[in-house]
């Protein structure tokens, strides 16, 4: 049947109305997009606050006292409403008349410390006062070789000679040539086996040499000039391999000689670790997106892919520390360090809570070992200090 006249008119008039509605909808959508884009540009480039056109956010501009800096209205609102302090002391410290200081505009050029006080001590060793006098030089100081009456052999390695020379008050004697030979062996001898040492919070590798000696390897995590972030706890930071080397040389320079010999060495991850590693360590090797060879091992902290140890591309620097003698050869008792840290975000260590921990600990142990008496005195003998200037150049070169 043919449509009625009224129906045909309605169909004809509805089609232009639909086209007009679509145009209005499309125009409103385009307008909304343009408004949103303008708001984003205004927030990112600060176009609407001060009239400074196209001023980047990272531009560090110093403004006068009579000129409002960028985002002044927002900063005023934030200080007034969003950063209210609950303590009256902090509220009293901020006066409304004082101008706000922008940390980005202050340029502080801190001068490096020249350590003039330490330099003065090293250059004038003869006039230093002795705070606590110890009687170690007057006591007999036998070493392990003398106490155990170990048989002498012609094929003793430098590590075995060093271990036999450990005495009551020190690990090695002043000017002992065995220490230099031991450092050279750890830095140059051929490696035949590598495996991970169990325990500890971070990865450490045991290095077996061709002459049956062993050393403890701590890899380099980041460059020496990289500092610890101020908001990081000390127990969330990586161990630094050069701190081990610095401890040994500083201990020797001060005349204590109670730190194990440590030296540095650069390894080839492919030929000196990967090809010699055991199965457990071998499973953790991979190639990074930068085509560097990496591994992470297994430990309590920082032993995963996100905290891997990588070469450049396969060379890796680290510290090599000598081992103490076995417990069968030199039995010993282990004392927990009285000034150990708590490794907790809120819990304090025992020495931070009790002020007389030194007296309590010393009264329990001092009669059993004279080693701790020297440890508490922390005063080297003057004869050892006179050799600091002669050893400073060579040891400093090894340290850095």
- Please write the tens of the pLDDT for every residue from 188-213: 999 999 999 987 778 999 999 999 99
Domain limits of the chain?
Answer: 157-325+390-399
- pTM > 0.85: yes or no: no
Give the pLDDT of residue 14. Answer: 54
Residues of the binding site:
202, 218, 239, 321-324
Annotated binding site for ATP: 202, 218, 239, 321-324
- HEC-encoded secondary structure of the chain: CCCCHHHHHHHHHHHHHHHHHHHHHHHHHHHHHHHHHHHHHHHHHCCCCCCCCCCCCCCCCCCCCCCCCCCHHHHHHHHHHHCCCCCHHHHHHCCCCCCCCCCCCCCCCCCCCCCHHHHHHHHCCCCCCCCCCCCCCCCCCCEHHHHHCCCCCCCCCHHHHHHHCCECCCCCCCCCHHHHHHHHHHHHCCEEEEEECCCCCCCCEEEEECCCCEEEEEECCCCCCCCCCCCCCHHHCCCCHHHHHHHHHHHHHCCCCCCCCEEEEEEEHHHHHHCCECHHHHCCCEECCCCCEEECCCCCCCCCHHHCEECCCCEEEEEEEECCCCCCCCCCCCCCCCCCCCCCCCCCCHHHHCCCHHHHHHHHHCCCCCHHHHHHHCCCCHHHHCCHHHHHHHHHHHHC
- Binding-site members for Mn(2+) are 239
Section 82-95 average pLDDT:
47
Q: Which residue has the higher pLDDT, 60 or 79?
A: 79
Quickly state the pLDDT bin for 96 (edges 50, 70, 90): very low
Residue 212 confidence (pLDDT): 92
At 114, is the pLDDT very low, low, confident or very high (cuts 50, 70, 90)?
A: confident
pLDDT single digits (tens) 134-181: 656 667 888 899 888 888 888 999 999 999 999 988 999 999 999 999
Which range has the top average pLDDT, 59-68, 353-362, 370-379?
Answer: 353-362
Say whether pLDDT at 388 is over 60.
Answer: no
């Amino acid at each position: 049947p043919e449509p009625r006249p009224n129906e045909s008119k309605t169909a004809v008039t509805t089609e232009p109305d639909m086209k007009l509605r679509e145009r209005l909808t499309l125009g409103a959508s385009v307008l909304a997009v343009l408004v949103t884009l303008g708001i984003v540009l205004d927030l990112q480039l600060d176009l609407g606050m001060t009239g400074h056109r196209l001023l980047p956010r990272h531009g560090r501009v110093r403004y006068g006292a009579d000129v409002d800096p960028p985002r002044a209205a927002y900063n005023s609102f934030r200080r007034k409403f969003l950063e209210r302090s609950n303590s009256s002391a902090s509220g009293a410290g901020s006066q409304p008349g004082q101008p706000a200081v922008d940390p980005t505009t202050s340029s502080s050029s801190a001068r490096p410390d020249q350590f003039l006080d330490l330099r003065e001590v090293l250059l004038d060793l003869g006039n230093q006062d002795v705070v606590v006098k110890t009687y170690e030089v007057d006591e007999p100081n036998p070493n392990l070789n003398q106490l155990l009456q170990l048989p002498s052999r012609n094929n003793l390695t430098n590590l075995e000679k060093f271990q036999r020379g450990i005495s009551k008050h020190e690990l090695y004697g002043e000017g002992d040539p065995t220490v230099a030979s031991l450092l050279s062996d750890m830095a140059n001898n051929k490696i035949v086996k590598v495996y991970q040492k169990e325990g500890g919070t971070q990865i450490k590798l045991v290095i077996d040499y061709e002459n049956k000696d062993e050393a403890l390897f701590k890899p380099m995590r980041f460059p020496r000039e990289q500092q610890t972030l101020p908001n990081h706890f000390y127990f969330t930071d990586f161990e630094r391999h050069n701190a081990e080397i610095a401890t040994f040389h500083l201990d020797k320079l001060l005349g204590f000689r109670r730190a194990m010999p440590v030296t540095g060495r650069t390894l080839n991850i492919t030929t000196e670790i990967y090809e010699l590693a055991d199965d457990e360590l071998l499973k953790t090797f991979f190639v990074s997106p930068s085509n560097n060879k990496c591994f992470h091992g297994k430990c309590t902290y920082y032993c995963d892919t996100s905290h891997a140890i990588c070469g450049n591309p396969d060379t890796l620097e680290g510290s090599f520390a000598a081992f103490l003698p076995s417990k069968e050869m030199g039995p010993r008792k282990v004392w927990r360090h009285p000034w150990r840290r708590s490794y907790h975000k809120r819990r304090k260590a025992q020495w931070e809570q009790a002020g007389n921990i030194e007296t309590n600990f010393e009264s329990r142990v001092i009669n059993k070992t004279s080693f701790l008496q020297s440890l508490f005195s922390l005063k080297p003998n003057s004869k050892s200090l006179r050799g600091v200037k002669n050893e400073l150049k060579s040891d400093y070169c090894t340290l850095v």
